[in-house]
Amino acid sequence: MDNVTDPMTGEPLPQAGSDHGLRIKHFRQILLWPVYLIPPPDEPDLADYAQRLLDRAPEGLWREVSDEFTADPSDFQERHYNEFVAFLPAVQRFLYGHCTHATEGGAITTPIRVLRRLDVAQARVELRRGDAPVLFEVAHADVYFFFDIDVAVLALEIHADNLPLHLAQEVMFQFGRAYPSYWEANGQAGHCPARAEWLDASGTVLAVSDYEDRRKFLDFTATHRAVSVSAHWDYLLHPLALANSGREGPFAYRQLEYHRMPLMAYLAVDDPRQLSGADIARLAAASGPPGHEHRYGAEERYAHLDAQYNSGRFHEIHDRRNTGTRYLASTRALVIVGDARDELFADLDHGALSRFRHQDFLLYLIAHFHRAALLMFSDRLAEAVGRLDMRDAKAVQAFRRVTREALEAFLRFTHRYWFSQVSDHAETAELFELCRQNLALDRLYGDIRQEVQDMNQYLESEAMRRQNETIVRLTVVTIFGLIGTVVTGFLGMNLFAYSDETALTKLWLFGVVTIPTIVIMFLMIRKSRQLSEFLDSVSGEEWSLFGRLKRLGRGKQRG
């Protein structure tokens, strides 16, 4: 393997397995896994997925997380206050809810409900076969549910101390994989850990990954035209059932995005000045340590990534050692790097670590929730169009219903959840905007909005077409019925005296007149299109009488 030099220093970059003396004093990673929720058949309009999960899950497996804002005011800390005031009022109501009335003890309503997994305490990860496994503490495994939106986001936070840089890069690159993209010749799943395990507080193994089970993934995809997920990730959402897995659950879920989960990473480095431009680029892209087969092949690529992912606006100086906090954002990750010796950076309650776990996490969650919801709408609209068959009246009716429901849901999402700005704080606002730009949220929102409007416009034009056809039929029937009206009016002038007939005769005469009238009426409705064309020809001066009668005859033949 050729040596690659750092474009900033000209020095050779370290190869895989080397930490060049740089250690991560504290490493923390938060993975976000958005999934598409599928309501159960017996409750297609399910809005509160969280409550259904609590009702159907085994006792002691999940519990709802009550935020600090609903607890005893004496427990409310300055950290909670700093987190709250970092956001605009509309976002505050979205994240924390609001009181339904101003009296003391008023009920709290919030569109977000958070359920926490109680049994998972540690994650043991073997990155490559034969390597010593790395043990991470699981800070929490939460699932965020959003009212009236068929989307949930799993947030898993893990942390460890004193890791080599290359090991932290490897974990960022490999750990958050829902399923493998390929398999190597030795049977190991590409870009996935060789083995990942969930452990409880006593060290008992709860679930193990099965990335290497190639046959499982191939058979699932061949049968269901979808991708399965690794067993240990599926376990975190238990008792939810993966769609098409054949397992029963309170409701099902399926993948929304690429198999690689979005992540946030916090790295407290003993000396951040030792990080080269290549290190910064790899951290920003979460692309793993040097030596991967996907490594960048040119120095210009490193320089480009360093310029693209390094935002100078978020580089702050905290002390005289000229070391600060650096925020790196890309489509895959939001990474925060700083000096472990800086107390302000490493403070769990008031420093950058606290902000990383709270304010930064929430704005990152909002951005990826927006993307997941928009992808969900896109998937739902694609399914509706795919099932549309204009020759099937039931399919057309179902398409009309699904489109109206999607339009209503998208309208509620726009007014309830869509924020283009979350804060007036300069750093928070710009960081959120950076995340939105990387995820191309405005473009995606515009595309989905246009799709919804196109489908709604199609329904309106279809309804207008049907209305016009009905008006044509009624007009034709009225015109040709005018003949019968005149005749019956003339006959009503006592031309035939039936007043002296018996009741039975009158009833028979009524039937003789009524039945042919009904038949003629239905025939006129059935042939209304041809009759309408005949009326057009009659009103036109370019047709002779013979031509008009001939046109009516052709219309009858077509009918």
| Domain layout of the chain by residue ranges | 475-558
Task: Say how far residue 209 (Cα) sits from the centre of its chain.
Answer: 25
Q: Residue 373 is encoded by which pair of tokens?
A: 């919801």
Question: What's residue 328's pLDDT?
Answer: 86
β-strand partners of 435: none
Question: Do residues 212 and 186 touch, judged by C-beta distance below 8 A?
Answer: no
Residue 345 CB burial class (10 angstroms; 0-12, 13-18, ≥19): buried
Question: What's residue 182's pLDDT?
Answer: 92
Question: What's residue 146's pLDDT?
Answer: 93
β-pairing, 151-164 with 23-38?
A: antiparallel
- All residues at 6 or more sequence positions from 149 whose CB lies less than 8 Å from its CB, including other chains: 373, 376, 409, 413, 417
Question: What's residue 142's pLDDT?
Answer: 96
- Dihedral, 16, 17, 20, 23 alpha carbons, nearest 10: 120
Instruction: Round to whole Å and give the CA distance between 307 and 211.
Output: 35
Question: What's residue 32's pLDDT?
Answer: 96
Residue 328 CB burial class (10 angstroms; 0-12, 13-18, ≥19): buried
**Number of other residues whose CB lies within 10 A of the CB of residue 535:** 17
pLDDT (tens digit, 0 to 9) for every residue of the chain, 559 residues total? 344 343 333 444 334 334 456 889 999 999 999 999 998 887 877 878 999 999 999 988 999 987 656 555 666 667 778 788 888 888 888 888 776 544 444 455 788 999 999 999 999 999 988 889 999 999 999 999 998 899 999 999 999 999 999 999 999 999 999 999 999 988 899 899 999 999 999 999 999 999 999 999 999 999 998 999 999 999 999 999 999 888 888 999 999 888 899 999 999 998 888 888 788 888 888 888 876 544 444 344 444 444 444 443 333 333 334 446 788 888 889 999 998 888 888 888 778 898 899 999 999 999 999 999 999 998 888 887 777 777 777 877 787 788 788 888 888 899 889 988 888 888 888 889 888 998 999 999 999 888 888 877 777 777 777 777 677 666 766 766 666 665 566 555 555 666 677 778 777 877 777 787 777 777 776 766 666 666 666 555 555 556 555 655 555 444 4
- All residues at 6 or more sequence positions from 388 whose CB lies less than 8 Å from its CB, including other chains: 395, 396, 399
Instruction: Round to whole Å and give the CA distance between 419 and 370.
Output: 9
- Dihedral, 473, 478, 480, 485 alpha carbons, nearest 10: 150
Angle between helices 393-416 and 441-491 (to 10 degrees): 130
Question: What's residue 54's pLDDT?
Answer: 92
Question: What's residue 481's pLDDT?
Answer: 67
pTM over 0.75: yes
Question: Do residues 107 and 8 touch, judged by C-beta distance below 8 A?
Answer: no
Helices (H), 265-318: 277-285, 299-309
Q: Residue 436 is encoded by which pair of tokens?
A: 């939105």
Question: What's residue 70's pLDDT?
Answer: 53
